Structure 1
Amino acid sequence: MESQEPNVTSSTSMPLMYSNRMMLKTILESSDGEMGLIGKTVVVGGWVKSSKEVKKDPVPSPPAAADAFPVSQRPKDVTCVEILQSRIPFFRTIIRVLGGSASSPAVREKLESLIPKPPPPSTFFLQINDGSCLSSLQVVIDSAKAPVSAGQILPTGTCILAEGVLEKPSAHGKRTIELKVEKVLHVGTVEQDKYPLSRKRLPLDSLRDYAHIRPRTTTVASVTRIRSTLDFATHTFFQNHGFLLVQLPIITTTDSEGFSEKFLVTTLLGKTSKEEPVGVSDADGVSLETVKASIKDKSSLFEQLKRSDSDKELLAAALQDLRKTNELARQIEAREKSKPVTAVKHDLVNLNEDFFGRPSYLTVSGRLHLESYACSLGNVYSFGPRFRADKTVSAKHAAEMWTVEVEMAFSQLEDAMKYAENYLKFLCSWILDNCSEDMKFLSKRVDKTVTHHLEYLTLCSYDKISYREAVEILRKVTDKAFETQLRWGVPLTAEHLSYLADDHYKKPVIIYDYPKAVKPFYVRLNDDEKTVAAFEMVVPKIGTLITGSQNEERFDMLNTRIKEFDLSRDQYEWYLDLRRHGTVQHSGFSLQFDLMVLLTTGLTDVRDVIPFPRSHGKANN
Structure 2
Amino acid sequence: MKRIKIKKLLEGNEKGKQVKVSGWVRTMRDNKNVAFIALNDGSTINNIQIVTTPEVADEELLKDINTGACISATGTLVESQGKGQAFEVQADSVSILGKADPQKYPLQPKKHSMEFLRSIAHLRPRTNTISAVLRIRHALSFAIHKFFNDKGFYYLHTPIITGSDAEGAGEMFRVTTLDMNNPPKDEDGKINYKEDFFGKETNLTVSGQLEGEVGAMALGEVYTFGPTFRAENSNTTRHLAEFWMVEPEMAFYDLSDNMDLAEEFVKYLISYTLEHCADDMVFLDKRATDADKSKPQNERREMGLLDSMKFVAENNFERLTYTEAIDILLQSKPHKKKKFKYPVEWGIDLQSEHERYLVEKHFKTPVILIDYPKDIKAFYMKLNDDNKTVGAMDVLVPGIGELIGGSQREDNLDKLLGRMQEMNVPEEELWWYLELRKFGSAPHSGFGLGFERMVQFVTGMGNIRDVIPFPRTPQSAEF
Give TM-score, length-normalised by structure 2: 0.92
Match of 1:417 in 2: 259
Q: Show CA shifts across 1:193-215 (max 9, x none).
A: 22110363211121001111000
Q: 2:269 corresponds to which letter in structure 1? A: L
1:224 alignment partner in structure 2 = 134
> 2:73 maps to what in 1?
162
Matched residue, 1:127: 38
CA apart distance, 1:270: 4.8
Preserved contact between residue 266 and residue 360 of structure 1 (Cα < 8 Å): yes
User: Which has the higher Rg, Structure 1 or Structure 2?
Assistant: 1
Asked if the contact 1:447–1:603 (Cα under 8 Å) also holds between the matched residues in 2, the reply is no
Distance, in Å, in 2 between the alignment partners of 1:454 and 1:399 is 28
Structure-2 separation of matches of 1:193 and 1:199: 13
CA distance in 2: counterparts of 1:348 and 1:269, whole angstroms: 14
- Deviations for 1:431-450, whole angstroms, at most 9, x for unmatched residues? 11111111111111223710
Equivalent of 1:440 in 282, 288, 292: 282
Distance 1:543 1:447 in 2: 20
Where do 1:155-304 residues align within 5 Å?
155-169=66-80, 171-198=81-108, 200-270=110-180
Aligned to 1:406: 248
CA distance in 1, matches of 2:62, 2:76: 24
Report the residue type matching 2:251 in the other structure: A
Aligned to 1:40: 17
1:525 and 2:380 correspond: no
| 2:319 equivalent to 1:464 | yes
Equivalent position of 1:552 in the other structure: 410
What is the percentage of aligned positions where both structures have the same residue? 41
Matched, 1:354 2:196: yes
In structure 1, the partner of 2:430 is 572
Kindly state the Cα deviation for residue 162 of structure 1 after the two structures are TM-superposed.
2.1
Partner of 1:302: none
Instruction: Give 2:162's aligned amino acid.
Output: T
| Counterpart-to-counterpart distance in 2, 1:573 and 1:601 | 42
Alignment of 1:44-123 (within 5 A): 44-56=21-33, 123=34
Coordinate RMSD, CA, aligned: 2.0
* CA displacement, residues 521-572 of structure 1 (integer Å, 9 cap, x when unaligned): 1111111111111111111111000111010111111112111111221110
Structure-2 separation of matches of 1:198 and 1:353: 53
CA contact (8 A) 1:546 1:590 kept: yes
How far 1:151 moved relative to its partner?
5.5
Amino acid at match of 1:545: L
Structure 2 vs 1, CA of residues 468 and 260 (structure 1 numbering), >3 Å: closer, same or farther? farther
Tell me the alpha carbon deviations over residues 133-180 of structure 1, each in whole angstroms, 9 at most, x when there is no partner.
1111111233423457256543101001222221234x4433332112
Cα deviation for residue 424 of structure 1 reads: 0.6
Q: Give the deviation of 1:471 after TM superposition.
A: 1.2
In 1: Cα distance, 2:444 partner to 2:179 partner: 40
- List alignment gaps of at least 5 residues for structure 2: 291-303
Distance 1:483 1:219, change over 3 A: same
Cα distance change, pair 47–464 in 1 and its aligned pair in 2 (3 A): same
- Residue of structure 2 equivalent to 1:22: 4
Instruction: Give the AA of the match of 1:193.
Output: Q
Task: Determine if the alignment matches structure 1 residue 145 to structure 2 residue 122.
Answer: no
The TM-score with structure 1 as length reference comes to 0.71
Q: 1:41 to 1:270 in 2, by over 3 A?
A: farther
Q: 1:488, 1:400 → 2: CA distance?
A: 32
Q: Which amino acid aligns with 2:19?
A: V
Call closer, same or farther: CA 1:48–1:347 in 2, change over 3 Å.
farther
Question: How far did 1:582 drift?
Answer: 1.3
Give the whole-Å Cα distance in 1 for the aligned partners of 2:93 and 2:189.
66
Partner of 1:514: 372
> Counterpart in 2 of 1:596?
454
Aligned positions of 1:473-512 closer than 5 A: 473-480=328-335, 481=338, 482-512=340-370
- Contact 2:56–2:94, Cα closer than 8 Å, also in 1: no
2:87 aligned partner, one-letter code: I
**Residue in 1 that maps onto 2:306:** 451
Cα distance in 2 between the residues matched to 1:447 and 1:402: 28
C-alpha separation between the residues in 1 aligned to 2:349 and 2:155?
32
Which residue identity does 1:571 align to in structure 2? E
